[in-house]
Copies of this chain bind each other. A is one copy, B any other.
């Protein structure tokens, strides 16, 4: 099969993505896809097995595992954001060009959408058996929460907004110091497990109110899929068009969380010199904003 090999080499040369942004977006698609595959499939397993093959804690852990598993690989490509709120925060801090924000977000939504689709295929029989064949957003046999997040019934709009702001803020507050070269960055070996542990912590402690979305792509992509796959427009209209909350609130929360870190810790670090100081504030323009720093230096 020497011809097959030559054909594959030729095919690869033709299909090779030479555009850096497109390459980064491919990375974000894949990373968010894997992240959501583990997470959504675990939610499906726990729900459709009625808890006999897992519990809420194992679903929390699966999201964390999904985050952990591709971090090493994707960090030097795109920074492994897997979350529009993290990408926005990087833009605000000057670590990502604003022009890349939209493509990144789109790639993340696509990855989450694809994962939702594959999980639905995998668990199609189980979901149909669990729900009696009726795909609904409300009631004891609802299955929409396998894919997107929904608030508990007693929750006011303001509380749910606050919940998402705080949850995302905590994530950024804990992610930022991991690679702050001015402060004491975490050892490279610790960056992936630390980031995964923070996600686990947030989903164990701040997911009762609204399901712990804290990620617009993680929420909107699967919601769009359920809208198209048979759950209908309820996924958007339910709880008085609540779906905008897990999109908007995390964006705000990420920026707030980032500034809390800057204000409490980073701005007060002893300056080596003024230049570095301006750099630490991350508000002066950088000439050569590199999208691909070495591994573990571009986490957030």
Chain A positions near chain B (C-beta within 8 angstroms) = 5, 8-9, 12, 15-18, 23, 26-27, 29-30, 34, 37-39, 41-42, 44-45, 48-49, 52-62, 65-66, 68-70, 72-73, 75-77, 118, 121-126, 128-129, 152, 154-156, 159, 162-163, 166, 170, 173-174, 177-178, 180, 183-190, 192-194, 197-198, 200-202, 204-209, 260, 263-265, 267-268, 277-278, 281, 283-284, 294-295
Q: How many copies does the complex hold?
A: 4
- Cβ–Cβ contact A41 & B206, under 8 A: yes
- Rounded to whole angstroms, the CA-CA distance of A70 and B241 in the bound complex is 37
Determine whether the beta carbon of B65 is less than 8 Å from that of A198.
Answer: yes
- Asked if A201 and B265 sit within 8 Å, CB to CB, the answer is no
A284 to chain B, nearest CB (A): 7
Partner of A174, one of B5, B69, B183, B188: B69
Chain B residues whose C-beta falls within 8 Å of the C-beta of A34 in the assembled complex: 170, 173-174
**Is B156 in contact with A125, judged by CB distance below 8 angstroms?**
yes
A265 touches B27 (CB 8 A): yes
5 cross-chain pairs, A with B, having the tightest CB-CB distances, nearest first: A73-B177, A65-B201, A42-B205, A41-B205, A184-B295
A-B contact pairs, 14 of them (CB 8 A): A26-B264, A26-B268, A45-B206, A45-B208, A62-B205, A65-B197, A65-B201, A69-B198, A72-B177, A72-B178, A122-B163, A122-B166, A126-B152, A126-B154
User: A5-B283, A72-B194, A265-B77 known; A208 and B126 CB under 8 Å?
Assistant: yes
New A-B contacts (15) at CB < 8 Å, excluding given A45-B204, A184-B295: A9-B283, A12-B277, A34-B174, A42-B201, A54-B56, A57-B58, A69-B174, A69-B194, A72-B185, A73-B178, A121-B162, A122-B163, A122-B209, A124-B159, A189-B189
